[in-house]
Structure 1
Amino acid sequence: MRTAFFVDGYNLFYGLLAGTPYKWLNLRDLLAHIAHVENPENSIVSVDYFTSPIKPQLATRGRLSKEAQDAYIKALRATNVTVHFGRHQLEPAKAPRFVDRHTEASRQDKVDIWKLEEKETDVHIAISMYRTANKQTVLDSHERIQQIVLVSSDTDMTPALKALRADFPHMTIGVILPHRVGSSRPPPGSLKDHSHWLRRVITADELLLHQLPDRVPTHKKPAIKPDYW
């Protein structure tokens, strides 16, 4: 079954990779592995990865964080992953003051904050999945993608999955949740309801077995794994 993957990079990083030694992930190989486990007849056609550039002034390691992201994007592209960029929007806002866990938030007691939002990513993923499904209707049968797999636990993607199921009933829809084993987060029911299958967790062993080499060859300089990764 010819398969196209659509990956929410932010969701993948913070749901699965942050705080682990597995950030230098060979994403394409991992997804090919999971697809084969789900159905040995699955074959990977494309991987589209959606993210936004890091703002160094807000990153834990400043400029180093941005350089690490740039290196990883370079490595992904060298392994036939298509990368799409959204943007981060930073603007002043107000939010209820945190007193302690026993005190409820109050709209009457707000403080000024900087609000950072990732913009355009969800819409870009949704449109890209829908366009991909629509393009298959004019292709010869041997060229068609038969399965679309979303890698995200973001329930904002539910309307997109619902539309795909309704408009392209012959397309198989899968969901891979970027959750670790032992995660306390329940699987989003809305994503499960509108997919044919759902992978709930990715194990540490799977991450370990699907790491990129420290130096990934490219057409120019190699992409080098950051020292602190």
Structure 2
Amino acid sequence: MRTACFVDGYNLFYGLLAGTPYKWLDLPSLLAHIIRVEDPANTLHGVSFFTSGVKPALATRGIASQHAQDTYIRALKAKGVEVLLGFHQIESGKAPRFIDKNTPPSRADQVEIWKLEEKQTDVYIAISMYRLAVRQMALPLEERIEQIVLVSADTDMTPALRAIREDFPDLRLGVILPHREGVKRTIPGSLKPYSHWMRHVVTDAELAEHQFPPRIPTRKRPADKPDYW
């Protein structure tokens, strides 16, 4: 079954890779493996990766974090991954003060904060999945993408999955949750009714097995694994 994967990069990083030694992830290789586990007849025919650029002033390692992200994106592109970028927007605002987990938030006790929001990424993913589904209708049956797989646990994707499921009933839908084994996370129930299958966990063994080599040749300078990764 010819499969296209759509990856929420922010969700992938913070749900699966942050704090691990597996950030230099060979994403196409991992996804090809997972979809074959689901069904040995599945074949990977495209990966689209959606993210927003790191803001060095707010990153743990400053400019080094930006350089690491840029390097990884170059490695993905060299491996045939389509990369689409949104952006981060930072604004001042107010939020209820955190006291402890047993004290509920109160609008009467708010503090000034900086709000960092990722913009356009969710919309890009939704539109890209739907447009791909539409374009398949003009292709011969033997050339069509038969399955779309979303890599995200973001319930904001529910309307997109629902629309595709309703408008293209012959197109199979899968969801891979970027959740590590051993970390208890809430399963996004609203995604499940609109997917034909859902992978709940990606194991450490799978992450370790699907890593890029330390150096990836590109059309310009090579993409070398960041030292602190």
TM over 0.5: yes
**2:176 is aligned with 1:176:** yes
What are the Cα deviations for residues 108-145 of structure 1, in whole angstroms up to 9, with x where unaligned? Answer: 11110000000001011000000000100110111100
What are the equivalent positions in structure 2 for 1:39-188 lying under 5 Å apart? 39-188=39-188
Alignment partner, residue 21 of structure 2 = 21
Task: Return 5+ residue gaps in structure 1 as ranges.
Answer: none
Letter in 1 for 2:102: H
Q: Distance in 1 between matches of 2:13 and 2:100?
A: 28
Alignment partner, residue 10 of structure 1 = 10
Q: Distance in 1 between matches of 2:121 and 2:160?
A: 13
**4+ residue runs of structure 1 moved beyond 4 angstroms?**
none
Per-residue deviation, 1:101: 2.4
Residues 13-22 or 177-186, more deviating: 177-186
Q: How many residues get paired?
A: 229
Q: Distance in 2 between matches of 1:35 and 1:99?
A: 44
Q: Distance in 2 between matches of 1:192 and 1:104?
A: 30
What are the Cα deviations for residues 183-219 of structure 1, in whole angstroms up to 9, with x where unaligned? Answer: 2113111111110000000000000000001100111
Q: Distance in 2 between matches of 1:135 and 1:37?
A: 27
The percentage of counterpart residues that share the same residue type is 65
Q: Distance in 2 between matches of 1:176 and 1:102?
A: 33
Q: Distance in 2 between matches of 1:228 and 1:88?
A: 24
Alignment partner, residue 211 of structure 1 = 211
Letter in 2 for 1:196: H
Q: Distance in 1 between matches of 2:200 and 2:100?
A: 33
Per-residue deviation, 1:49: 0.1
Q: Distance in 1 between matches of 2:74 and 2:179?
A: 25
Q: Distance in 2 between matches of 1:182 and 1:123?
A: 31
What are the Cα deviations for residues 147-180 of structure 1, in whole angstroms up to 9, with x where unaligned? Answer: 0000000000001000010000000000000001
Task: Return 5+ residue gaps in structure 2 as ranges.
Answer: none
Per-residue deviation, 1:82: 0.5
Per-residue deviation, 1:42: 0.6
In the superposition, the TM-score normalised over structure 1's length comes to 0.99
Q: Distance in 2 between matches of 1:181 and 1:170?
A: 32
Q: Distance in 2 between matches of 1:167 and 1:122?
A: 20
Q: Distance in 2 between matches of 1:64 and 1:25?
A: 18
Aligned CA-pair RMSD: 0.6
Letter in 2 for 1:83: V
Letter in 2 for 1:129: M
Letter in 2 for 1:64: A
In the superposition, the TM-score normalised over structure 2's length comes to 0.99
Per-residue deviation, 1:13: 0.2
